[in-house]
Structure 1
Amino acid sequence: MKFRAFAAVAAGALLATTLNVVPAQAGGSSSHDSTATVKNVATLIDGLTGPLRVAHGPGGNILVAESFAGLLSSVSPNGTKKVFASSPGNELAAVSYTGGTTYYFENLAAPAEDPTALAPALLKTIDKKGKTRTLTDLTKWEVKLNPDGKTVYGVRKAPQSCLDQAPWMQSSGEVYSHPYATAVARNKIYVADAGGNTLWKVDSRGKASVLKVLPAEPVVIDQAIVAWAAEAGLDVPECMLGRTYWVQPVPTDLEVRGDWLYYSVLPGAPGENFAKGKVYKLNLNSKKSYVVASGLSAPTGIALDDRGTVFVTELFGNGVSKIVKGKAVNVLPAALASDVDISGNKLAVSTNALAPSGEVVTGTLKYGRR
């Protein structure tokens, strides 16, 4: 099943996922300074339409992608909004900023006459002079490589007679790209492709290559899963009880720090209903992944401060949390928090991202004695 816009996630339209990697302790400490708190919290701007992504931009401005409105804007410290990219009817997402350049994706909608058709996913840049350039179309690379094409999602081991009763419970990776987050480091643009279940890297010429295909994650089918499926109008036959359902990983954000790439995985339905989300760290040299945190409610944004503390937004959780010994500790209560970005001791968060009027909230990181 394809990755849906988060409005559909809220309606329970996604399949669930996790990763199958090395335990957390193999990757070292998940939080270098557990004393961090957030102070001076204030609403920078409200009235936004689907502010799914935020990033610190030049001059203290905050970049915000209003994905449902097809807008990419810069918001000044006094809350003045300036639109500098607009694509009505399409999704602007995956915004990041470094070295004077803004990076984002323009995910085009499929044509009305063929809503199932593959649509371009354009990686674009805006330089200091305001010139926009298209670097590549990730959909073309997805069509060419289809990294998860051989992955079987759903129930892998069951009698055919059982599968015949619920054919929706088994599928293979489809050709579909939905870039959702970018991070720039090491002369590469790293991309979290929520549709392709893949982490990509793109060079300055626009050549994309697979960094990691995220493995499906096991979820045991129990009575709670059966009840959830029934509410969604899906029938789980009794012969499926106790079996393992391998769900799609759906990477939602990423951040690079030295030789490590941190990324969040949003487990779709029924995962977002059962707090199955995780944050991982990937060693860019060995390509091995390690669990940083688990038990998260639809993690959709991550950020690291200068001390190495990992922060995460939980779309269906309590807002912004810091990761302490593999667990989320709330530092900023907020509804429908979809992204977080940190620059120095400044924190920016998009909240009420699925509500009629979204917001960007700012705060200051403070540290006490340990």
Structure 2
Amino acid sequence: MKSRIAAIAAACSLAMILGTGTAMAAPGGHGNNNGHGNHQPSPVTEVASQLISPLKVSFGPNGSYLVAESFAGTLSSISAKGVKTTVVSAPGQEIAGVSYSNGATYYFNNDQGTGPEPGGVLLPARLMQIDRHGTTRQITDLADFEAANNPDGNTVYGVRDASPECLAQAPYLQQMGEVFSHPYSSAPVRNGVYVGDAGANALLYVSDRGKVKLVKALPAEAVTIDAAVVAAAAEMGMVVPDCMLGLKYYAQPVPTDVEVSGQWLYYTVLPGVPGESLGVGKAYRMNLHSGKTQLLAQGLSAPTGIAVDRNNNVYVAQLMGDGVSRLKNGRASNVLPAMMASDVEVSGHTMAALTNALAETGGSLFTMRLR
């Protein structure tokens, strides 16, 4: 029951009405919820629209934005005036995890299977780089690291504490971590790039020479089996027997975005099936020197993007939530109302966000001035 982003898309298709158009609050609306009635929200600009499954965004060169139109197999460059140029075209592939630093563009070119679940064949998951001269090279195939290491291979996902008789009623509710790589997010640093592998359930570091190192194998996320879990599982065709009510379901800790700020690696986790639609997502940060991990917020609705500004304010995009929120003292306050917000990035005083990412009418790239 591995959750990959295509499975999240399927869950969202059930939970939301696609094709509703741009559900974005007007700049004069209630964009900032800080409790002050006379506060004037920051101006919001729609830079581009009708994007096909825009799931990741990065600030690019010369004031441009790089957008991974993932299911279209396209990496696009969009100017500040909204002029769109194709950087990579790979029909049939998934383009994911775009990021940019010091003249180099990074992205993933992932082979896609026949469905949202991993099959019996480990598919290539290539970390690519385009240098400042426009030369493209493959840094590594992360599937090779997964095949050799499988960081979550000894992790028991699903229900751990059910009796043998109870588990026999639903054996599909327990499994070991499988061999599956689906790199989905990247954060460049000096001499390398941090990677969130949504298939391996791990955070990785890849050097510029292609050497891969495990940073953290993420622990399973415990979800109490209640009526909401039973209903969510039923929508996915899984029956949860009554004997499992009240037990813990250890969901796969799917990392959906990574960001580096100072000595901290920030990341979002969307617990896998049946956690996508339950509002149990979380945001963390890990100290890159000590390894200490801190929980920043929980109860997030499919968090798929995280960003940090120069004042260490943390922002998250919630694909099944109310848009982009700022995290403070463990609470999320909305700053950019939107449907299907798939990613957020911050550079200086500008925030870029992707919205309506799975809408049939196409997604949009918005920018907002941060005060």
Aligned with 1:269 (options 252, 273, 278) = 273
> In 1, distance between residues paired with 2:73 and 2:232?
32
Q: Is the 8 Å Cα contact of residues 183 and 191 (structure 1) preserved in structure 2?
A: yes
Query: Which letter does structure 2 place at the counterpart of 1:165?
Result: Q
Q: Is the 8 Å Cα contact of residues 53 and 65 (structure 1) preserved in structure 2?
A: yes
Match of 1:354 in 2: 358
Q: How big is each residue's C-alpha offset from its partner over 1:263-286, in whole Å with a ceiling of 9 and x where there is no partner?
A: 000123332322101100101112
Q: How big is each residue's C-alpha offset from its partner over 1:216-266, in whole Å with a ceiling of 9 and x where there is no partner?
A: 011111122222223332211111111111110000001111111000001
Q: 2:5 matched to 1:2?
A: no
Alpha-carbon deviation of 1:12?
Answer: 7.0
Q: 2:79 matched to 1:94?
A: no
Q: Which ranges of 4 or more aligned residues in structure 1 deviate by more than 6 Å?
A: 33-37
Q: 2:103 matched to 1:83?
A: no
Match of 2:121 in 1: 117
> In 1, distance between residues paired with 2:215 and 2:188?
14
> In 1, distance between residues paired with 2:305 and 2:98?
12
Match of 2:162 in 1: 158
Q: The residue matched to 1:308 in structure 2 has which SS? A: coil
> In 2, distance between residues paired with 1:317 and 1:164?
36
Q: Is the 8 Å Cα contact of residues 125 and 132 (structure 1) preserved in structure 2?
A: yes
Q: 2:198 matched to 1:167?
A: no
Aligned with 1:178 (options 178, 182, 204) = 182
- Residues 243 and 223 of structure 1, relative CA distance in 2, 3 Å threshold: same
> In 2, distance between residues paired with 1:281 and 1:136?
26
Q: Is the 8 Å Cα contact of residues 34 and 309 (structure 1) preserved in structure 2?
A: no
Q: Over aligned residue pairs, what C-alpha RMSD do you find?
A: 2.1
- Residues 38 and 123 of structure 1, relative CA distance in 2, 3 Å threshold: farther
Query: Which letter does structure 1 place at the counterpart of 2:367?
Result: T
- Residues 34 and 364 of structure 1, relative CA distance in 2, 3 Å threshold: farther
Query: Which letter does structure 2 place at the counterpart of 1:292?
Result: L
> In 1, distance between residues paired with 2:92 and 2:134?
23
Q: Is the 8 Å Cα contact of residues 55 and 64 (structure 1) preserved in structure 2?
A: yes
Unaligned runs of 5+ residues in structure 1 are 14-32
Query: Which letter does structure 2 place at the counterpart of 1:86?
Result: S
Match of 1:205 in 2: 209
Q: How does 1:156-305 map to 2 (within 5 A)?
A: 156-305=160-309
Q: Is the 8 Å Cα contact of residues 128 and 137 (structure 2) preserved in structure 1?
A: yes
Q: 2:325 matched to 1:321?
A: yes
Q: How big is each residue's C-alpha offset from its partner over 1:151-210, in whole Å with a ceiling of 9 and x where there is no partner?
A: 000011111111110011100000000001000124221000011100000011101010
Q: Is the 8 Å Cα contact of residues 11 and 277 (structure 2) preserved in structure 1?
A: no
Q: Is the 8 Å Cα contact of residues 3 and 273 (structure 2) preserved in structure 1?
A: no
Q: How many residue pairs are counted as aligned between the two chains?
A: 346
Q: Is the 8 Å Cα contact of residues 345 and 352 (structure 2) preserved in structure 1?
A: yes
Alpha-carbon deviation of 1:116?
Answer: 4.2
Query: Which letter does structure 2 place at the counterpart of 1:143?
Result: A
Match of 1:104 in 2: 107
TM-score (norm 1): 0.89
Q: 2:76 matched to 1:73?
A: yes
Q: Is the 8 Å Cα contact of residues 228 and 278 (structure 2) preserved in structure 1?
A: no
Unaligned runs of 5+ residues in structure 2 are 16-33
Q: Is the 8 Å Cα contact of residues 72 and 92 (structure 2) preserved in structure 1?
A: yes
Question: Which range moved further: 221-230 or 314-323?
Answer: 221-230
Question: Which range moved further: 233-242 or 122-131?
Answer: 233-242
Match of 1:26 in 2: none
The share of aligned pairs that are identical, in percent, is 53
Query: Which letter does structure 1 place at the counterpart of 2:366?
Result: V
Question: Which range moved further: 206-215 or 103-112?
Answer: 103-112
Query: Which letter does structure 2 place at the counterpart of 1:284?
Result: L
Alpha-carbon deviation of 1:37?
Answer: 8.5
Match of 2:334 in 1: 330
- Residues 155 and 100 of structure 1, relative CA distance in 2, 3 Å threshold: same
> In 2, distance between residues paired with 1:163 and 1:239?
9
Alpha-carbon deviation of 1:3?
Answer: 2.6
Q: The residue matched to 2:72 in structure 1 has which SS? A: coil
Q: The residue matched to 2:10 in structure 1 has which SS? A: helix
> In 1, distance between residues paired with 2:273 and 2:41?
31
Query: Which letter does structure 1 place at the counterpart of 2:53?
Result: G
Alpha-carbon deviation of 1:287?
Answer: 1.3
Q: The residue matched to 2:180 in structure 1 has which SS? A: coil
> In 1, distance between residues paired with 2:177 and 2:298?
24
> In 2, distance between residues paired with 1:105 and 1:354?
20
Question: Which range moved further: 257-266 or 220-229?
Answer: 220-229
Q: How does 1:11-90 map to 2 (within 5 A)?
A: 39-90=42-93
- Residues 37 and 354 of structure 1, relative CA distance in 2, 3 Å threshold: farther
Query: Which letter does structure 1 place at the counterpart of 2:258?
Result: L
Alpha-carbon deviation of 1:48?
Answer: 0.8
Q: The residue matched to 1:266 in structure 2 has which SS? A: strand
Alpha-carbon deviation of 1:342?
Answer: 0.8
Q: 2:369 matched to 1:364?
A: yes
> In 1, distance between residues paired with 2:341 and 2:327?
16
